[in-house]
Structure formats: structure tokens, C-alpha cells
């Protein structure tokens, strides 16, 4: 890769490291020969998540998502355009998966952007999120030779981050709050920005569901960045569940807990 491409790729990586500072610790424990590729993929996923869940202009978000759906296909052809894509390995075994997953991912992303329904319950919520995260997990598995357990792990990380936004006065995305919890606690999605006992009870119930998912997901087949994220999120969600103010615990959580290096080291060794 040229020096120009390397310089351009620094901007997306900077965004990733600013938003997910634990990845700075992860870099230390990644094998040197894998470091650029693994972090490049994490930076791409971050860009895609930001476009789908948080970009304010729907048209701009749609264009970005369509561009990346094309980019996955071009990556399979050896004609990738984005500086980050140039860091991604494309073994021969990955080409059929890239070609099959790219259109499914693009269609799902645009559907979620334009017309995603609110999920009835946690199972429906995971099914909706899986439409976005499962093709990405298949692509990751093909590129790096892993299993596809990344889909539920990334969905769980997204949901936990969304509930951390509540105490900041930011409305959660419509797919992040199941309708049955709103009905149970007699709330509207917009009212979740208000600090009330009903909101805290709803957050606690969602954390209970996330806790069961955290327990069910094995991190054995996850890449180191996501393996560390899952381990940190398990601890954070458990701490929030024990609190009468779970949304405040999520809001005030340190972006890089003191034990991050310890957990990263254990995750890199594959220790429990």
C-alpha cells in the first residue's frame, strides 16, 4: 500500500480509537502481522454503525451504506477503493462469502435505515439487528478464518451503548427498545430521556435480557477487539443491574476501565 493510502487511513482509525479507546489497549496485544487488518475491519464496522444508527441526514447515510455495499463486492474483485479496505486480507476462500453477503448486508442496512419497525420483544430485536450484523460477521469470518459468533456480540454491544445514551438526554434508536418493555412500564420512546423510576425499571429489564445474551455468547471464536468488548460489557451490565440507577451507571462508566489491560491480556491468551 502506498504512503498516501496509509495517511488517508489514519482518519477513520482516529475516529475508532476516540470512540472505542479500549482498542488502543488491544493494539498492544495483537500480533504485529494481524494488527493493521484487524483494526481496519473494526474501523470499517464503526463507520457503518455510525452511518446506520447515528448519522443525522438519512440521504447521506443511505449513500454511505450503498457505497460500502459496493465496496464489499469490489474487495472480492481486488479493486477496493477505501484506504481501510486496502488493509483487509482477502484469501481465496473469502471471495464467495463476500459476493453473497454484500447484497444481503446492503439491503438490510437500507431497510433498517428507511423503514425498520420497532421490535416487539428481545427476540425480535435480535432478529432485526442480526440482519445488519450477521452478514458482517460472515464477512469477518471469511476474511479472518473465524466463526460467525460476532453477530450477537456486536448487537449486544450496540444495545448497551444505546442505553448509556439515555442519561445524556439522547433518544435511543427505535430498534433499541422493545415494545413490550415500553408497554410494561407505560412509557413512550421519547419519554426515556426523562429521569424517572419507570425508565430505570425498563433499563433494568433490558439489562436482564442482555445478561442472558452475554452468558450465551461464547467469545472463543471472536477476534480480540470484540472479545475484549464482550468481557468489559459483561462486567458493566452486571454492575448496572445491581444498581437502582442503571442508566447512570452506564453513563458514568469509564471508557477504559482500570482492568482493561488485564482483560485484554487474558483475552489474547484465550483465558476465561
Q: What per-residue confidence (pLDDT) applies to 167?
A: 72
Contacts of 11 (CB under 8 A, 6+ apart): none
Residue 237 · residue 160 · CB < 8 Å:
yes
For 104-136, the pLDDT digits (tens) are 999 999 999 987 778 999 999 999 999 999 999
Q: What per-residue confidence (pLDDT) applies to 168?
A: 75
Q: What per-residue confidence (pLDDT) applies to 272?
A: 52
Q: Please tell me the number of Cα atoms within 13 Å of 1 on its side-chain side.
A: 21
Question: What is the spatial distance between Cα 75 and Cα 86, in angstroms, rounded to a whole number?
Answer: 8
pTM of the model: 0.90
Phi, psi of 220, deg, nearest 5: -65, -35
- Rg over alpha carbons for the chain, rounded to the nearest Å, is 18
Q: At what angle do helices 150-164 and 122-144 cross, to 10 degrees?
A: 130
Instruction: Give the CA distances from residue 167 to residues 131, 176, 186, 270, in Å, rounded to whole numbers and listed in that order.
Output: 28, 15, 19, 35
Sign of CA dihedral 63, 66, 68, 74: negative
Question: What is the spatial distance between Cα 43 and Cα 209, in angstroms, rounded to a whole number?
Answer: 28
Q: Which residues of the chain have pLDDT under 50?
A: 1-11
For 137-149, the pLDDT digits (tens) are 999 999 998 777 8
Amino acid at each position: 500500500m502506498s504512503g498516501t493510502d496509509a495517511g488517508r487511513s489514519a482518519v477513520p482509525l482516529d475516529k475508532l480509537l476516540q470512540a472505542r479507546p479500549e482498542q488502543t489497549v488491544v493494539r498492544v496485544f495483537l500480533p504485529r502481522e494481524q494488527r493493521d487488518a484487524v483494526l481496519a475491519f473494526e474501523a470499517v464496522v464503526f463507520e457503518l454503525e455510525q452511518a446506520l444508527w447515528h448519522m443525522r441526514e438519512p440521504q447521506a447515510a443511505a449513500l454511505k451504506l450503498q457505497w460500502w455495499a459496493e465496496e464489499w463486492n469490489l474487495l472480492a474483485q481486488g479493486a477496493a477503493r477505501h484506504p481501510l479496505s486496502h488493509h483487509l486480507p482477502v484469501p481465496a476462500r473469502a471471495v464467495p462469502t463476500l459476493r453473497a453477503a454484500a447484497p444481503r448486508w446492503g439491503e438490510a442496512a437500507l431497510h433498517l435505515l428507511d423503514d425498520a419497525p420497532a421490535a416487539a420483544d428481545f427476540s425480535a430485536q435480535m432478529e432485526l439487528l442480526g440482519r445488519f450484523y450477521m452478514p458482517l460477521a460472515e464477512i469477518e469470518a471469511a476474511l479472518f478464518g473465524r466463526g460467525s459468533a460476532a453477530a450477537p456480540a456486536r448487537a449486544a454491544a450496540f444495545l448497551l451503548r444505546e442505553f448509556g445514551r439515555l442519561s445524556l438526554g439522547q433518544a435511543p434508536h427505535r430498534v433499541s427498545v422493545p415494545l413490550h418493555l415500553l408497554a410494561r412500564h407505560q412509557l413512550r420512546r421519547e419519554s426515556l430521556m426523562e429521569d424517572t423510576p419507570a425508565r430505570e425499571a425498563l433499563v433494568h429489564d433490558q439489562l436482564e435480557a442482555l445478561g442472558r445474551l452475554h452468558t450465551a455468547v461464547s467469545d472463543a471464536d471472536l477476534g480480540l477487539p470484540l472479545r475484549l468488548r464482550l468481557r468489559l460489557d459483561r462486567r458493566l451490565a452486571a454492575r448496572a443491574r445491581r444498581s437502582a440507577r442503571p442508566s447512570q451507571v452506564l453513563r458514568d462508566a469509564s471508557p477504559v476501565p482500570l482492568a482493561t489491560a488485564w482483560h485484554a491480556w487474558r483475552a489474547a491468551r484465550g483465558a476465561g
